[in-house]
Structure 1
Amino acid sequence: MLQVPVTSNDIDVLARAPESQYFDRKSAKIKPNDLARTIVSFANSAGGKIAVGIEDDGVVSGFRYDGAQPVEAFEQCALLHCDPVPMVTPLRIPVTNARGEEDMVLVLNVSASQNRVIRRKNDGKVFLRSGDKSVQLEYGQILSLEYDKRQIVFEDEPVRGTSIENVDSEVLDRYKRALGTTVSDEKALYSGQFLTDNGELTHAGVLLFAAHPTRFMPQARVLRFEGKRLETGSQLNIIKDRTFEGPIPKIVEGASLFISGMLREYQYMDKNAKFQTIPEYPEFAWFEGLVNAVTHRDYSNTGEHIRISMYDDRLEILSPGKLPNTVTLENMRTTRYARNPRIAKTLVAFGWVREMNEGVQRIYSEMQKAFLHDPVYSEPNGQYVKLTLENSSTSRVLRTQDTLENRIGRDTLDSLNEYEIEAVQLAYSEKRITRKSLAVHLGRSLKLASATLHALTDKDVLQWHGSSTRDPHQYYSLKQDEQ
């Protein structure tokens, strides 16, 4: 569900609004040090609003009762209990509490910290907002957050054991030509902060220019699947699998050529009776998704590939690392941010990169112009960013038809009637079908469905599975899908 900030200070809104990524309610009985946990989590995320004096269930309890902390303790909470001190704006709102007394609620508007990780002062713990919870981070997660906020800049850290000897001269020459400079390789790298005073390449230098960066971190993997989902074991349906290594510019070029070679084009007749060619996906959409993944992934997570998975009905691009800093799924179309600005700036020179929200916005636009569903962004397990592009029903039909021709033969496929073709396509899609499921799919009788399945079994297209004709668990599958 889309979560949006609570902007109103109306007491009814504050009492009813669901707690979320951007909003929390707290009783005035809470200890200031415990409230600091929520303040820290909002400051380390995208900011948020805390209403103190309202219970979790929305009851306006206020401050006028035994056990309530003084309002001043909460107004000074950020100053006394957070390090460094985040920007928090307090606002006292007069209310009538649930007991009918004149009272107040304290609203704390917490701003996002742009360049520092905020900690709770007494124990140094770091918290991050995740949904309606303030989650404590572990060491590796804190380090990643520090990278995001530029407190530590991953790109600029040296990679031990590297030197200019590790550089791919062809890529560096292209970079220099793009900049219009003829300076020495060493000066070009040093001026771009890709080479340290000690002569070691930085992480950005390795990723962009090293001939073999996978000695230090993995790169991109492209997989093509037959069907709409990943199968395992004897049903494993990976039909193409290639890993791309090398400096980022070569990865982008190699992966994009490989992907484009596996994408379908199909024709249709327009209103002027002329054939038009339509790509399976708009080129900008998938290419920008690839470039964004390469540019904005969390490279401090060194154990993961960028993974591009191509299914019959969609293309998925999975990038290691959650969305950076203040970027969220809700605001990513309007928020500008680059986790790896040196990499982004370099790829601008190659003509590929736009600021994150500009590219995302155009992906939406290109998919809409192609009459396709909007792209879908998600954060699986809070550890990745996934872009899903769905293709058109026409291209899905063509891809399914090609697959079925390869599996059962063109002549056999041409010999089937319309009900048999529907049954074969359903068996391909669902793996298992029954008399009832086919009848529902066709919108026809069980008798017709049964006759269709028997005919396909006789033609050696389908395989029947069951112990007897009365077996309640009997089903049919494509001959090559026998289980």
Structure 2
Amino acid sequence: MVDVRDVSKEEFGGILGLQESYFCDLKSKRIAPAKLSRSISAFANASGGEVYVGIEELDVADGKKRSWDGFSDQEEANAIFQVMSELDPLGSNFSGQFLRYQGAPGLVLYLAISKTQSVAHSTDGGVYRRNNASNLPLKDEALERLKYDKGVRSYENEKMAVETDEVTNSNIVIEFLIDAVPTGEPAEWLKKQFLLIDGTPTVASVLLFSDNPQASLPKRSAIKILRYKTKAEAERDYLSSDPETIEGPIYNLIYDAVDRVKEIIEGIEKIGPAGMEK
């Protein structure tokens, strides 16, 4: 049984005055449960949110007017809870509570929706995401991006359209195997580490074991070092010099970037008791 909570006059007025937004939605009790599931999907795939079911919005001469028109009893909302149970069988992502105000008709259903770790679908199989005060259907590239954001799909495991030799016959992979797995063959070892899938290099294998991953992953596999001459908001006008780009396989990339930053910091001078000092 879902709790019923009495709200104060101030809270009653606050609910009727809510603005629909990225985190909040107001619905009539007459909404079809399947359509309501789109809002649940949209909030769950964004940052979570709240839905109040039982708020009517009428067009009047000077704009729109809201009124409290809730369910006559808890059983009238059973279809909504059935949909929520289908979307979240364990009940870990959605919760509900009925709100009651003396003098106002019926019970308004308050739904709290958490951000989910997996992609949340509506009952029609669609995927939605909250965008400002609307529910945006996601398809193709937008849906793939959501899967990356949720961690359902990992970009590092994506196949790349490069020759296998790029990672099986590189200097970096040969050096690594001589040091770490002296009896291993590059192709076989990479396959066992799931860095070759169906004989095709993944993003991770290119980052790790290509001699020049930046050629295959331009603008996504290098480090830029920028130093500004101010602690204020960083702007190009305050750059102390042109940005430096560090490239190479990812292990070298990390160590080279750290070494270069240390060089820059150690080369900075400040005024001390004896004048300029490191």
The two structures have a TM-score, normalised by structure 1, of: 0.42
Paired position in structure 1 for 2:209: 209
Paired position in structure 2 for 1:76: 82
In structure 2, distance between residues paired with 1:175 and 1:23: 55
In structure 1, distance between residues paired with 2:269 and 2:19: 46
Paired position in structure 2 for 1:242: 244
Q: 1:160-309 residue pairs with structure 2 within 5 A?
A: 160-166=161-167, 168-170=170-172, 173-174=175-176, 181-184=181-184, 185-196=186-197, 198-218=198-218, 219-220=221-222, 221-224=224-227, 228-230=234-236, 239-263=241-265, 264=268, 266=270
Letter in 1 for 2:52: A
In structure 1, distance between residues paired with 2:123 and 2:240: 51
SS at match of 1:128: strand
Letter in 1 for 2:96: L
SS at match of 2:100: strand
Per the TM alignment, residue 189 of structure 1 is displaced from its structure 2 partner at its CA by 2.2
User: Residue 108 in 1 paired to residue 116 in 2?
Assistant: no
Per the TM alignment, residue 226 of structure 1 is displaced from its structure 2 partner at its CA by 6.0
* Aligned-pair Cα RMSD in Å: 4.2
In structure 2, distance between residues paired with 1:266 and 1:11: 62
Residues 37/239 of structure 1: CA separation in 2 closer, same or farther (3 Å cut):
same
Q: 1:70-469 residue pairs with structure 2 within 5 A?
A: 70-78=76-84, 87=91, 89-96=94-101, 100-101=103-104, 103-115=106-118, 117-122=119-124, 124-130=125-131, 133-166=134-167, 168-170=170-172, 173-174=175-176, 181-184=181-184, 185-196=186-197, 198-218=198-218, 219-220=221-222, 221-224=224-227, 228-230=234-236, 239-263=241-265, 264=268, 266=270
Per the TM alignment, residue 133 of structure 1 is displaced from its structure 2 partner at its CA by 4.7
Count of residues paired in the alignment: 249
Paired position in structure 2 for 1:440: none
Letter in 1 for 2:33: P
Which structure's relative contact order is higher, taking Cα pairs within 8 Å and 6+ residues apart? 2
Residues 229/150 of structure 1: CA separation in 2 closer, same or farther (3 Å cut):
closer
Paired position in structure 2 for 1:28: 29
Per the TM alignment, residue 40 of structure 1 is displaced from its structure 2 partner at its CA by 0.5
In structure 2, distance between residues paired with 1:143 and 1:85: 25
CA displacement 1:155-199 (0-9 Å, x = unmatched): 22322333144354436645885xx65441344423321122x33
CA displacement 1:306-355 (0-9 Å, x = unmatched): xxxxxxxxxxxxxxxxxxxxxxxxxxxxxxxxxxxxxxxxxxxxxxxxxx
Per the TM alignment, residue 224 of structure 1 is displaced from its structure 2 partner at its CA by 4.5
- Sequence identity (%): 26
Residues 243/24 of structure 1: CA separation in 2 closer, same or farther (3 Å cut):
same
Contact 1:164 1:199 in 2 (8 A): no
In structure 2, distance between residues paired with 1:130 and 1:76: 26
Contact 2:167 2:173 in 1 (8 A): no
Residues 194/60 of structure 1: CA separation in 2 closer, same or farther (3 Å cut):
same
Contact 2:226 2:239 in 1 (8 A): no
SS at match of 2:241: strand
Contact 1:86 1:110 in 2 (8 A): no
User: Residue 50 in 1 paired to residue 72 in 2?
Assistant: no
Contact 1:89 1:108 in 2 (8 A): yes
In structure 1, distance between residues paired with 2:176 and 2:95: 54
Residues 230/49 of structure 1: CA separation in 2 closer, same or farther (3 Å cut):
same
Letter in 1 for 2:69: S
In structure 1, distance between residues paired with 2:97 and 2:138: 31
Paired position in structure 2 for 1:436: none
Residues 28/213 of structure 1: CA separation in 2 closer, same or farther (3 Å cut):
same
User: Residue 62 in 1 paired to residue 89 in 2?
Assistant: no
Contact 1:21 1:130 in 2 (8 A): yes
Letter in 2 for 1:95: R
Residues 95/113 of structure 1: CA separation in 2 closer, same or farther (3 Å cut):
same
In structure 2, distance between residues paired with 1:176 and 1:19: 61
Contact 2:6 2:100 in 1 (8 A): no
Residues 215/85 of structure 1: CA separation in 2 closer, same or farther (3 Å cut):
farther
Letter in 1 for 2:79: A
